């Protein structure tokens, strides 16, 4: 599987489109309000850490898995394990660890 972001064109405020493909076939795509800086995921879900500090989670079908999470000022690293773990390191020494098997409380993150 491949995750890729297409720029929105000349509009600097737009985030573009995040697409997921397998063997050249488009599985899903979703508009982002801010450009994705980092992408991570596995067979069950995908995540995009964006320029505005937001973290967007997607199911394998391309649906939003949770409300947008504003956890850090900016992302420095994003890592997904093979199961349900996601680690986000912020550029201001913030660290967010999520277990995606459990319900996400966006206010805690």
Q: What's the pLDDT tens digit per position in 28-56?
A: 999 998 889 899 988 888 999 998 888 99
Please choose, from the candidates 16, 49, 58, 47, the residue with its C-alpha nearest in 3D space to the C-alpha of residue 33. Answer: 16
Q: pLDDT at position 7, please?
A: 66
User: Is pLDDT at 4 greater than 90 in this prediction?
Assistant: no
Identify the structural domains of the chain with CATH numbers, from first to last.
2-99 (2.40.128.630)
Predicted TM-score of the model (pTM): 0.80
Confidence class for position 1, pLDDT limits 50, 70, 90 = low
Tens digits of per-residue pLDDT, 47-85? Answer: 999 988 889 999 989 999 888 888 677 888 999 998 888
The answer to whether the beta carbons of residues 55 and 61 sit under 8 Å apart is: no
Closest CA to 105 of 60, 67, 62, 49: 67
Distance CA 93, CA 74 (A): 10
Strands (E), 25-104: 25-31, 36-41, 45-50, 54-59, 69-70, 75-80, 85-90, 95-99
Please give the pLDDT value at position 29: 92
For residue 109, pLDDT over 70 is answered with no
pLDDT band at 97 (very low <50, low <70, confident <90, very high): confident
């Amino acid at each position: 599987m491949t995750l890729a972001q297409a720029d929105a064109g000349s509009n600097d405020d737009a985030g573009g489109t995040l697409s997921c493909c397998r063997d050249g076939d488009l599985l899903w795509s979703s508009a982002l309000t801010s450009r994705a800086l980092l992408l991570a995921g596995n067979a069950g879900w995908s995540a995009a850490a964006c320029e505005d500090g937001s973290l967007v989670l997607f199911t394998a079908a391309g649906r939003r898995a949770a409300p947008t999470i504003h956890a850090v000022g900016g992302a420095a690293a994003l890592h997904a394990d093979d199961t349900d773990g996601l680690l986000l390191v912020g550029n201001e020494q913030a660290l967010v660890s999520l277990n995606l098997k459990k319900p996400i409380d966006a206010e805690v993150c």
